[in-house]
Amino acid sequence: MSIRDPRRLVDVVVVVPARDESLRIATCLRSVRISLQQALTAGAVGHVAVAVVGHHCADDTLGRADRSLAGLPHVLVADDTSATVGDARAQGVRAALDLMPSRQGNAAPREVWILNTDADSVVPSTWVTDVLAHATAGHQAVVGMARLSRAGLGAVGLHHNHGAAAAYRRIIRAGVHGRSHDHVYGANLAVRADAYAAIGEFPSVRVGEDRA
């Protein structure tokens, strides 16, 4: 079934937690915006919204996010209380879902997908449509891969440590099995809203909330 089939039209929310990412948030949100616009143009989605959660931010991350998302339904969450990234992601999901017309009583209930990425990430233009292609196949969640940039390799100490970088690549390859894999990244994680509610949101953990 084509993702353009009106019987399968879905709503999409994108959640982006961020902590002091004022230098990178605009690049991230530009890629998210392009991907959402491509899905809208293709007739793959109905309503869209983006939530950015400023998790204990001391810079202008939320201000830059607001400017980057001008004209697109979005909500900014200043989170100065959450102890974990899991809590921050959960706050973002709740805020984004509240923007959906069906939640406000202004539209009939419709399938909603929650897409997650990180403020230091760049998603491909086909990100949303690729996820929705899996949605039409009946899946409840889609776990995508993530590739570290040169800057990302440096941030985790792998850029000049060739032995560690090779070990990292071996770990990644070992988890890939043809068109499937064992890896889970919050930077590329999508789940249907009803399935997300059924499992009880993101857990309140400091690390690994995407896998937990």
Q: How many domains does the chain have?
A: 2
What is the C-alpha end-to-end distance of the chain, expressed in Å?
Answer: 32
Residues 6+ apart with CB under 8 A from 103: 97
Give the pLDDT of residue 211: 46
Q: Distance between CA 51 and CA 185 in Å, rounded? A: 18
Q: Distance between CA 80 and CA 58 in Å, rounded? A: 10
pLDDT in tens, 104-144: 666 556 789 999 999 988 898 999 998 898 887 777 877 75
Domain check: are 129 and 89 in the same one? yes
pLDDT in tens, 35-50: 999 999 999 999 999 9
Domain check: are 39 and 137 in the same one? yes
Domain check: are 167 and 103 in the same one? no
Is residue 130 in some structural domain? Answer: yes
Domain check: are 63 and 34 in the same one? yes
Domain check: are 176 and 189 in the same one? no
Residue 80's domain spans which residues?
Answer: 6-146+183-199
Is residue 44 in some structural domain? Answer: yes
Asked if residue 70 lies in contact with residue 31, where contact means CB atoms within 8 angstroms, the answer is no
Please name which of 183, 184, 121 lies closest in space to residue 152, comparing C-alpha atoms.
121
Residue 53 Cα to chain centre, angstroms: 12
Query: What CATH code is carried by the domain that includes residue 43?
Result: 3.90.550.10
Domain check: are 99 and 164 in the same one? no
pTM (2 d.p.): 0.77
Alpha-carbon dihedral sign for residues 57, 63, 67, 73: positive
